[in-house]
Amino acid sequence: MSRNLIAIRTLENDEINHLISLGADFKSRIRAGEAVPRLDRKVIGMLFFENSTRTRVSFEQAAFYLGMRSSNFSTSSSSMTKGETLKDTILTLRYERLDGLVMRHRASGAPVLAARHFGGPVLNAGDGQHEHPTQALADALTIIESKGKIEGLTVAIVGDVEHSRVARSNAWLLDKLGADVRLVGPKTLIPTRTARLPGTFYYDLEEGIDQADVIITLRLQKERMKEGMVSSAGEYASMYQVNSESLRFAKRDCIVMHPGPINRGIELDDYTADGSHSVIHHQIENGVFVRMAAIYHCFGGGEA
């Protein structure tokens, strides 16, 4: 049975746990040079309508490890510059017999529209301010590797929560799996309570990361901001930067995460981005393996 992966919010805990453990299994097999199941002769379209480094390359790597061919596609080089609608583009790829799609788009909900018209597996690689499910899976695997569990941990998600699809997918996943989720940032960058995001709001960094086991920092998403939401990046940094000084409030063995791309000197100082608390490189590596798991699962694979 083929499936889509659009959002963490609508997944059952069993499916989330399955994807994380399948990702861990693929990781150990690839590292040991062992065989993994293959989706030979399947072609997956990589539709990146917004810029990406990590997510795009890790989906390509994941497809490669599964023996698939990926077909790359970006707005600037496609017929969308000639006025073709998203729906017609998706239908074109369907009748060109692509087997699945990975899609990033600036509009929240675009992958749902794509899934409706494509008819096969569609994986959301980040849609607007909505969700980025595979990033949350990569982060969950990274947390489990460091802390052995998710349940009972205090996780502070710090920064531009309002515009961040990473924050949303992480908040849903971590809350479902039993973590105490805190959303930390200036009032203008924390969603209003009506946004129904799980977690407790904190507007003060020291309180928000007090005794935290995990700190997930976020990039200021200037491209999605209205004027005046933060007065300046410098002022934001002076109040919310996670650095050697603010880290003293978190647990001594806390881990620091960032989905990338990092604005060094704004969300994080170099000491924290590169130091012993940072698990950022693990997040990147785990991205490949959870995306293998996500593709395999969406193409109907069962136990590996």
Instruction: Give the closest residue to 108 by CA, choosing from 87, 123, 128.
Output: 128
- Which residues inside 42-71 make contact with ligand NCD, applying CB under 6 A? 54-55
C-alpha to C-alpha distance for 146 and 139, rounded to whole angstroms: 11
Rounded to 5 degrees, φ, ψ at 108 are -60, 135
Give the residue with the Cβ less far from ligand NCD, 120 or 159: 159
Least Cβ distance, residue 102 to ligand NCD (angstroms): 12
Question: In the complex, what is the shortest distance from the CB of residue 32 to ligand NCD, in angstroms, rounded to a whole number?
Answer: 27
Q: Judged by CB under 6 A, which of 9, 42, 168, 219 binds ligand NCD?
A: 219
Residues 228, 79: Cα–Cα separation, whole Å: 36
Of 4, 124, 135, 169, the one binding ligand NCD by CB under 6 A:
135
- Position with the least CB separation from ligand NCD: 219
Smallest distance, Å, CB 280 to ligand NCD?
10
Nearer residue to ligand NCD within complex by CB, 105 or 132? 132
For ligand NCD, the closer of residues 121 and 259 by Cβ is 259
Q: What is the dihedral of CA 293, 298, 299, 302, to 10 degrees?
A: 60
Task: By CB under 6 A, name the one of 23, 100, 133, 259 that touches ligand NCD.
Answer: 259
Angle CA 102–181–263, to nearest 5: 60
Alpha-carbon Rg for the chain in angstroms: 19
Give the nearer residue to ligand NCD in terms of CB position, either 195 or 302.
195
**What is the CB neighbour count within 10 angstroms for residue 37?**
16
Q: Which residues, numbered 157-176, are part of the site for ligand NCD (CB under 6 A)? A: 165-166
Q: Is 260 in the site for ligand NCD (CB under 6 A)?
A: yes
What single string gives the DSSP state of each residue in 197-254? -SSEEESSHHHHHTT-SEEEE----GGGPPTTSSS-HHHHHHHH-B-TTGGGGS-TT-
Q: How far is the CB of 1 from ligand NCD (least distance, A)?
A: 28
Q: Which residue has the tokens 């994807």?
A: 19
Binding stretches for ligand NCD (CB under 6 A) = 54-55, 126, 132, 135, 165-166, 219, 221, 259-260
